[in-house]
Structure 1
Amino acid sequence: MIVVTRVADIHEALNGVCLTIGNFDGVHMGHAKLLTRVRDRAAATGLVSVALTFDPHPRKVLLGASAPPAITSIGHKLECMEAVGLQVAVVLPFTRELAAREPEDFVREVLVEGLSLKQLVIGYDYAFGKGRRGNFELLSALGQKYGFGVERLDPVIINGAVVSSTRIRDMVLAGNVWDARPLLGRFHQVRGLVAHGHKRGRKLGFPTANLAFREELVPLTGVYAVWVEVGGVMRPGVANIGKNPTFGEFEMSVEAHILDFKGKIYDQPIRVHFVQRIRSEKKFSGPDELVARIREDIGLARMILAAPDARP
């Protein structure tokens, strides 16, 4: 998949595109329906399949520090798009100036003149531009003017409700990672480099990989059964999210103990796939009580991860 951050970088290679546009936070099952439709429609009509998205997320620019964390990083988002089979991803830098643009100007200059738009596929509630006037009705009128078709897809319903980024985010923040999986189409994951920690886990007999994450969505504090992806290999594990109250720490951390693993992975990128929450974070009386509970957590994690539907 070709990835560009300026329309000018791909313009000359395009003779007509089938495109979808959105933030695609989480690249969940609703987004997958859009992306798959674009891929299939483009293949059937001889067009180039394109997804147009934005970085940073518009909420980050418009709301600043009060913006909720993104479910997926831009790198993860692009991986998901490529896995669907899209040919091009356009990642436009999002600014306040872009948010204030009239939708008519954006469609004419970026989509029609810049990307040679022939077919547009949007979600059931998509709107963009100044005042969010760029809705289905306006896009349909502009399509008649500039010669492109507009298709609006119905929402995806799972477990009786519409699949949405907000719904998924709320689930993850509540620790309901197992229930979020059908909506995402995969287990929620957090990525980062393995950083040096206090090595307290090693002294207790359970060495942990301390994840140096950035702004990704971290589940509710507690202990989880997880898969830890190291070098493309999935390994079973137990992860703790919290502040290690037994030892009086205050900074939030994500630490994963990889079961039956003795390799050194400092400074290596890993991905922690959260399968199911085992328990809340707890302050123990001391190391002995903590070790006993860790052994119990590991036993529970082994049972959870052995289930066929617990595979990533």
Structure 2
Amino acid sequence: MIIVRDIEEIRGVVAGACVTIGNFDGVHKGHQRLIELACSRAKAQGLVSVVVTFDPHPLKVLGKGAPPPFITLTEQKLELISQHGPQLCLLLEFSLEMARLTPEEFIGKYLLDGLGMQELIIGYDYHMGKGRSGNFETLTELGALHGFTVDRLDPVTIDGAVVSSTRIRDLVQSGRVWEARPLLGRFYQVRGQVVHGMNRGGRLLGFPTANLKLVDELFPMPGVYAIWVEMAGEVRMGVANIGINPTFGNHALSVEAHILDFRGDLYGADIRVHFVQRIRDEHKFSGIDELKTRIAKDVDLGRRILAQPEAEIRLTTPFLEPGSNPGQR
């Protein structure tokens, strides 16, 4: 997948495209089906398959107050989009100026003049342009006027409910990470660099931990989780604590991962933590001995959870260092 951030880079280069467009936060099962449909339609018609998305998310520009925490930051979103086969991703900088464009102006500037679009595929609830006026009916009328077709994908449902970024966000924030997996098609993950912590895990407790410098926006609710840890091309079992370590009187949120059967030095390394299942709430213990006993039980339970066939992790792309371009490896 080629990633382009300025339409001028490819104006006149793409002769015809099948395009899907959206914010794609989480790149969940609904988004995946949309992208894969655009790819299959493009292949059948001899067109270029294109995903158009935005950075920053429009809610960060247009929203009143703080936006919700996003499931995927831009780097991970691009990486996930690339897994589903599009040839080109147009990553547009969203601005107030862009928000003022009517649907016809946006389509003309970016999708027709820039990509030679012949087919547009949108999600069931997608709107574009000034005042969100570009709904399916409006876009269909524009297509008849300018010579492109428009199709709309029906909502994707799992367990009787529509797959949505909002639903996934609610599940993750409530600690129900196991239930988020079928909606995402993967375990929810965060990533970060291993930094020096308080040096208590190994020295005091006998369970060394990798302390993450947090870069993501969305985290499961505080507690202890069975996890997979992805690092430098390998995946290992682990148990993570998310919270403030009340036994030690901490106040800042932290993610500390104990990697089972690992004794190496990870300081400075970039790792990913895939959350499989919540084990328990975060508690304040009476002292070190009680905490050590509880951690030993957590590790044992985490090992048994991760040994189950349904907890198996499937990685579809090699580990990428932060800042790498998934479309230009």
**Is the shorter-chain TM-score for this pair beyond 0.5, marking a shared fold?**
yes
Cα distance in structure 2, aligned partners of 1:305 and 1:230:
17
Backbone CA RMSD of aligned residues: 1.0
Tell me which residue corresponds to 1:165.
165
Give yes or no for contact 2:190–2:216 (8 Å, CA) kept in 1.
no
Q: Secondary structure at the match of 2:263?
A: coil
Q: Does residue 3 of structure 1 match 2:31?
A: no
Which protein has the bigger helix share? 1
Q: Structure 2: 5+ residue runs without aligned partners?
A: 314-329
- Alpha-carbon deviation of 1:174? 0.3
Deviations 1:96-125 (A, max 9, x none): 221222111101111111111111110011
Tell me which residue corresponds to 1:235.
236
- Alpha-carbon deviation of 1:198? 0.8
Q: Does residue 299 of structure 1 match 2:329?
A: no
- Alpha-carbon deviation of 1:65? 5.8
- The one-letter amino acid of 2:111's match is L
- Alpha-carbon deviation of 1:92? 0.5
Cα distance in structure 2, aligned partners of 1:85 and 1:113:
24
Q: Secondary structure at the match of 1:85?
A: coil
Q: Does residue 219 of structure 1 match 2:220?
A: yes
- Alpha-carbon deviation of 1:58? 1.2
- Alpha-carbon deviation of 1:199? 1.1
- Alpha-carbon deviation of 1:5? 0.7
Deviations 1:133-173 (A, max 9, x none): 01101110111111111010101010110000000000000
Tell me which residue corresponds to 1:92.
92
Cα distance in structure 1, aligned partners of 2:250 and 2:50:
47
- Alpha-carbon deviation of 1:202? 1.4
Bigger Cα displacement from structure 2, 207-216 vs 279-288:
207-216
TM-score, normalising length: structure 2: 0.93
Cα distance in structure 1, aligned partners of 2:66 and 2:109:
32
Tell me which residue corresponds to 1:114.
114
- Alpha-carbon deviation of 1:215? 3.5
- Alpha-carbon deviation of 1:57? 1.0
- The one-letter amino acid of 2:66's match is S
Q: Secondary structure at the match of 1:69?
A: coil
Give yes or no for contact 2:72–2:216 (8 Å, CA) kept in 1.
no
- The one-letter amino acid of 2:302's match is A
Tell me which residue corresponds to 1:31.
31
Tell me which residue corresponds to 1:289.
290
Cα distance in structure 2, aligned partners of 1:65 and 1:290:
40
Q: Structure 1: 5+ residue runs without aligned partners?
A: none
- The one-letter amino acid of 1:192's match is G
Q: How many residues align?
A: 312
Tell me which residue corresponds to 2:184.
184
- The one-letter amino acid of 1:56's match is P
Tell me which residue corresponds to 1:82.
82
Cα distance in structure 2, aligned partners of 1:278 and 1:290:
15
- Alpha-carbon deviation of 1:81? 1.2
Q: Percent identity of the aligned residues? A: 58
Bigger Cα displacement from structure 2, 57-66 vs 127-136:
57-66
Give yes or no for contact 2:3–2:91 (8 Å, CA) kept in 1.
yes
TM-score, normalising length: structure 1: 0.98
Deviations 1:43-71 (A, max 9, x none): 11100000000011111222376111110
Cα distance in structure 2, aligned partners of 1:192 and 1:86:
27
What are the residue-to-residue correspondences of 1:250-261 with 2, within 5 Å? 250-261=251-262
Cα distance in structure 1, aligned partners of 2:266 and 2:77:
25
Cα distance in structure 2, aligned partners of 1:82 and 1:265:
28
1:65/1:282 CA distance change after superposition, 3 Å: farther
Give yes or no for contact 2:21–2:122 (8 Å, CA) kept in 1.
yes
Q: Secondary structure at the match of 2:34?
A: helix
- Alpha-carbon deviation of 1:216? 2.7
- The one-letter amino acid of 1:129's match is G
Tell me which residue corresponds to 2:14.
14
Runs of 4+ in 1 over 6 A off after TM superposition: none
Cα distance in structure 2, aligned partners of 1:63 and 1:214:
22
- The one-letter amino acid of 1:168's match is I
Bigger Cα displacement from structure 2, 7-16 vs 81-90:
7-16
Give yes or no for contact 2:238–2:258 (8 Å, CA) kept in 1.
yes
- Alpha-carbon deviation of 1:82? 1.1
Cα distance in structure 2, aligned partners of 1:213 and 1:47:
40
